[in-house]
């Protein structure tokens, strides 16, 4: 992640802690936006008490960052967030939702709407890092205008006791989405749902879900692509089982309502092949190092987490 | 003291005997070629030497630098200086550059090998051509900096230009190493001058000679059966 801070929002527990905005990106609390811009109310389920409103009006080339933290015990967050990217604007965004330490017994509900106007572009990385006693549900509606492009990745390497990641992606004509969600869990219950609606001609949606279950983790991953127009889509839903008591359910589903649409999927759930482990051992790695290497490869590159504008490695949290 | 001594070695896989009282000595710095028809046990010898657990030694022993490695774990053998170039290595979702960095642990950087640059950001053996696979294998082995290298079917899946290129890399980068080249085609013999050639059939070495060209000529003209009369 870049050290350059263009615009940012930080929330600690239930209070907005800091907002840094510039002339190209409007950042308000959701409550402020609800009051100031009546037109924004259509994006909220109800009058918001927490969360952020980000409105990218011009292309800046610098990242927008948000951080929603739980720092105290027994906090319940209900963050309603709106990200609005104006027509033709390109934005890069990095978000972290996290508990600052273990055993805070927090509850985080995130309800986000990302709206891209026609031909807008967004590259969005969202990292979660929680304590093992937290309870988290994050729901995102992604609404993509014609010709817009989104690269959207979600990662969670420290899962709470219960994690639900829910995404609804609505893609209009000639718009393109590349979505990936990767979660590694040692314990706890993880549910990952994503529905991608191809609503316009030449729309393209790709969904990649990666689930890695260690020890006693229980996963359910359900991905669905619904083609309503002559569009293309692909999903892959992959699970790695690394513990005897772990469990993964992968449910890929394709719904084609248009004869000119082309949608495909692949899915696999299993342990790391012994051939691969032995091969890596023959390159001098121990069995544990071999497994770690494969898992890291499966997850992709490590993501930093930004707290108060400072880059932190996720391992520093706990 | 031989670098490698295979002493009366028998192995089985899933209860089926494959190697049968095999004996072989390789001295430091030598290049040996092992030829034999398909299913003669050549690749089994590679995996047994590397220590793959499903290759069960039922009799005999393996000595490397006079140390008994018969029951040693795979990675321990690698650390002692044994490495393999595999014919069919598995695909892994790890970038080749990441794997090379991991296995070399700062010993050497081999990113200058011709043709390797384009592979570094790709996952290991995912969508590789035959030549790319061999180049990746050789690069990994070079990064390990071993004493003894087993090259399994170096000439398989390569056109003559690629075989020449890979052979050249092996000769240049591994010139000071001890090599055991396994092949059933013999094309690799064009590019190496082995000290010894051995013929394997039915899990046994049935013929050994310093004249590898003569052995290969016999095989080409009269087939492997003729070697039994050697």
Task: Please list every residue in chain A whose beta carbon sits closer than 8 Å to the beta carbon of residue B92.
Answer: 276, 279-280, 294, 297
Instruction: Looking at the complex, report in whole angstroms how far the Cα of residue B14 sits from the nearest Cα belonging to chain A.
Output: 15
In order of A155, A285, B96, B135, B209, the CA distances from A272 in angstroms are: 21, 15, 18, 25, 43
CB B87 within 8 A of CB A279: no
CB A176 within 8 A of CB A202: no
Taking CB atoms and an 8 Å limit, are A278 and B74 in contact across chains? Answer: yes
Kindly state whether A39 is in contact with chain B, defined as any CB-CB distance less than 8 angstroms: no
Taking CB atoms and an 8 Å limit, are B75 and A296 in contact across chains? Answer: no
Helices (H), A91-245: none
Residue of A nearest to B81 (CA): A284
Instruction: Give the pair of three-digit tokens for residue A220.
Output: 């359910």
B-proximal residues of A, 297-316, CB under 8 Å: 297-298
Taking CB atoms and an 8 Å limit, are B123 and A279 in contact across chains? Answer: no
pLDDT category, A7, cuts 50, 70, 90? confident
Taking CB atoms and an 8 Å limit, are B92 and A298 in contact across chains? Answer: no
By a Cβ cutoff of 8 Å, what residues of chain B touch chain A?
Answer: 50-53, 73-75, 77-79, 83-84, 86, 89-90, 92-95, 98-99, 102-103, 123, 140, 144
Bridge-partner residues for A27, per DSSP? A54
Taking CB atoms and an 8 Å limit, are B83 and A282 in contact across chains? Answer: yes
Task: Please list every residue in chain A whose beta carbon sits closer than 8 Å to the beta carbon of residue B86.
Answer: 279
Instruction: Looking at the complex, report in whole angstroms how far the Cα of residue A292 sits from the nearest Cα belonging to chain B.
Output: 11
Domain with residues B4-229, CATH architecture: 3-Layer(aba) Sandwich (3.40)
The residues near B152 (Cβ < 8 Å, ≥ 6 apart) are B42, B43, B46, B84, B85, B86, B87, B182
Task: Please list every residue in chain B whose beta carbon sits closer than 8 Å to the beta carbon of residue A277.
Answer: none
Task: Please list every residue in chain A whose beta carbon sits closer than 8 Å to the beta carbon of residue B75.
Answer: 281-282, 284-287
Taking CB atoms and an 8 Å limit, are B74 and A293 in contact across chains? Answer: no
Task: Please list every residue in chain A whose beta carbon sits closer than 8 Å to the beta carbon of residue B83.
Answer: 282-283
pLDDT digits (tens, 9 = 90+) for A254-298: 999 999 999 999 888 999 999 999 999 999 999 999 999 998 888
Instruction: Looking at the complex, report in whole angstroms how far the Cα of residue A116 sits from the nearest Cα belonging to chain B.
Output: 32
pLDDT digits (tens, 9 = 90+) for A151-167: 999 999 889 999 999 99
Instruction: Give the pair of three-digit tokens for residue A120.
Output: 């807008």
Considering only CB atoms, B50 lies closest to which of A282, A294, A297, namely: A282
Kindly state whether A280 is in contact with chain B, defined as any CB-CB distance less than 8 angstroms: yes
Share above pLDDT 70 across residues of chain A, in percent, rounded to a whole number: 92
Instruction: Looking at the complex, report in whole angstroms how far the Cα of residue A286 sits from the nearest Cα belonging to chain B.
Output: 6
Taking CB atoms and an 8 Å limit, are A297 and B50 in contact across chains? Answer: no
Residue B160 to residue B156: CA distance in whole angstroms? 10
Low-confidence ranges of chain B (pLDDT < 70): 106-112, 230
pLDDT of residue A314: 44
Q: What is the mean pLDDT of chain A?
A: 91
Residue A315 has pLDDT above 50, yes or no: no
Residue B201 to residue B205: CA distance in whole angstroms? 6
Which of A175-179, A218-222, B13-17, B108-112 is predicted with the least confidence, judged by mean pLDDT? B108-112
Interface A-B: count of C-beta contacts within 8 A:
60
Angle at A291 between CA A288 and CA A297, to 5 degrees: 140
- Helix (H) / strand (E) containing A315: none
Q: Residue for token digits 């330490």?
A: A101
Domain boundaries, chain B: 4-229
SS3 at position A234: strand
pLDDT greater at residue A91 or residue A215: A91
Task: Please list every residue in chain B whose beta carbon sits closer than 8 Å to the beta carbon of residue A289.
Answer: 102
pLDDT digits (tens, 9 = 90+) for A65-113: 999 999 999 999 999 999 999 999 999 999 999 998 888 999 999 999 9
Dihedral of alpha carbons B50, B123, B38, B220, sign? negative
What DSSP designation does A271 have? P
pLDDT of residue A257: 97
CB A206 within 8 A of CB A171: no
Considering only CB atoms, A294 lies closest to which of B86, B94, B95, namely: B94
In angstroms, how far is CA A201 from the centroid of its own chain? 26
pLDDT of residue A306: 54
pLDDT of residue A304: 56
pLDDT of residue A235: 93
Kindly state whether A285 is in contact with chain B, defined as any CB-CB distance less than 8 angstroms: yes
Which of A7-21, A52-66, A92-106, A294-308 is predicted with the least confidence, judged by mean pLDDT? A294-308
Q: What is the mean pLDDT of residues A49-61?
A: 94
The residues near B188 (Cβ < 8 Å, ≥ 6 apart) are B33, B151, B154, B155, B163, B167, B181
Kindly state whether A257 is in contact with chain B, defined as any CB-CB distance less than 8 angstroms: no
ipTM score for this prediction: 0.94
Considering only CB atoms, B84 lies closest to which of A282, A289, A293, namely: A282
- As to burial, measured by CB atoms within 10 angstroms (0-12 exposed, 13-18 middle, 19+ buried), residue B26 is buried
Considering only CB atoms, B75 lies closest to which of A286, A294, A297, namely: A286
- Helix (H) / strand (E) containing A77: strand A76-85
pLDDT of residue A298: 82
Which has the closest alpha carbon to B57: B19, B25, B5?
A: B19
Residue of A nearest to B102 (CA): A285
pLDDT digits (tens, 9 = 90+) for A180-200: 999 999 888 999 999 999 999
The secondary structure of B57-105, three-state, reads EEEEEEEECCEECCCCCHHHHHHCCEEEECCCCCCCCCEHHHHHHHHHC
Considering only CB atoms, B89 lies closest to which of A279, A289, A294, namely: A279
The secondary structure of chain B, three-state, reads CCCEEEEEEEEEECCEECCCCEEEEECCCCEEEEECCCCCCHHHHHHHHHCCCCCEEEEEEEEECCEECCCCCHHHHHHCCEEEECCCCCCCCCEHHHHHHHHHCCCCCCCCCCCCHHHCCCECCCCCCHHHHHHHHHHHHHHHCCCEEEEECCCCCCCHHHHHHHHHHHHHHCCCCEEEEEECCCHHHHCCCCCEEEEEECCEEEEEECCHHHHHHHHHHHCHHHHHHC
Instruction: Looking at the complex, report in whole angstroms how far the Cα of residue A288 sits from the nearest Cα belonging to chain B.
Output: 12
């Amino acid at each position: 992640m870049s050290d350059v801070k263009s615009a940012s929002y930080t929330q600690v527990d239930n209070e907005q802690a800091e907002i840094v905005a510039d002339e190209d990106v409007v950042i308000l609390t959701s409550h402020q936006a609800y009051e100031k811009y009546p037109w924004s109310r259509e994006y909220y389920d109800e009058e918001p008490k927490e969360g952020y409103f980000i409105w990218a009006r011009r292309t800046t080339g610098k990242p927008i960052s948000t951080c929603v933290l739980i720092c105290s015990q027994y906090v319940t967050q209900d963050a309603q967030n709106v990200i609005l990217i104006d027509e033709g604007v390109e934005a890069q965004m990095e978000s972290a939702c996290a508990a600052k330490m273990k055993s805070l017994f927090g509850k985080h509900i995130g309800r986000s709407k990302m709206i891209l106007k026609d031909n807008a572009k967004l590259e969005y990385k969202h990292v979660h890092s929680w304590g093992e006693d937290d309870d988290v549900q994050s729901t995102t509606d992604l609404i993509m205008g014609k010709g817009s492009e989104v690269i959207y990745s979600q990662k969670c390497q420290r899962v709470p006791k219960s994690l639900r990641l829910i995404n609804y992606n609505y893609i209009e004509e000639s718009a393109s989405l590349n979505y990936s969600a990767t979660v590694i869990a040692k314990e706890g219950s993880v549910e990952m749902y994503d529905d991608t609606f191809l609503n316009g001609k030449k729309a393209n949606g790709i969904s990649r879900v990666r689930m890695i279950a260690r020890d006693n983790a229980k996963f359910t991953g359900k991905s669905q692509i619904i083609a309503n127009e002559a569009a293309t889509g692909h999903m892959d839903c992959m699970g790695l089982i690394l513990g005897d008591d772990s469990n993964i359910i992968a449910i890929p589903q394709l719904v084609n309502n248009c004869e000119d649409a082309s949608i495909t999927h692949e899915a696999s759930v299993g342990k790391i092949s012994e051939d691969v482990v032995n091969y890596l051992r023959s390159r001098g790695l121990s069995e544990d190092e071999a497994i770690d290497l494969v898992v890291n490869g499966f997850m992709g590159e490590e993501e930093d987490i930004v707290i108060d504008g400072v880059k932190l490695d996720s391992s520093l949290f706990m | 003291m031989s670098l490698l001594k295979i002493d009366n070695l028998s192995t089985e896989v899933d209860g089926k005997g494959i190697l049968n009282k095999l004996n072989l000595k390789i001295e430091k710095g030598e290049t040996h070629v092992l030829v034999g028809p398909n299913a003669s046990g050549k690749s089994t010898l590679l995996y047994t030497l590397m220590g793959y657990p499903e290759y069960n030694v039922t009799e005999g022993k393996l000595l490397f630098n006079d140390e008994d490695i018969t029951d040693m774990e795979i990675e321990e053998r690698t650390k002692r200086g044994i490495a393999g170039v595999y014919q069919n290595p598995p695909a892994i979702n790890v970038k080749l550059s990441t794997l090379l960095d991991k296995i070399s642990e700062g010993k050497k950087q081999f990113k200058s090998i011709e043709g390797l640059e384009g592979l570094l950001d790709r996952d290991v053996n995912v969508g590789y051509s035959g030549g790319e696979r061999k180049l990746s294998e050789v690069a990994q082995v070079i990064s390990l900096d071993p004493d003894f290298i087993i090259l399994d079917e170096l000439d398989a899946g390569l056109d003559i230009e690629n075989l020449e290129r890979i052979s050249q890399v092996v000769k240049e980068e591994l010139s000071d190493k001890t090599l055991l080249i396994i092949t059933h085609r013999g094309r690799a013999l064009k590019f190496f001058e082995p000290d010894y050639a051995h013929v394997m059939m039915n899990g046994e070495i049935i013929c050994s000679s310093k004249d590898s060209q003569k052995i290969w000529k016999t095989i080409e003209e009269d087939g492997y059966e003729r070697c039994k009369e050697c």
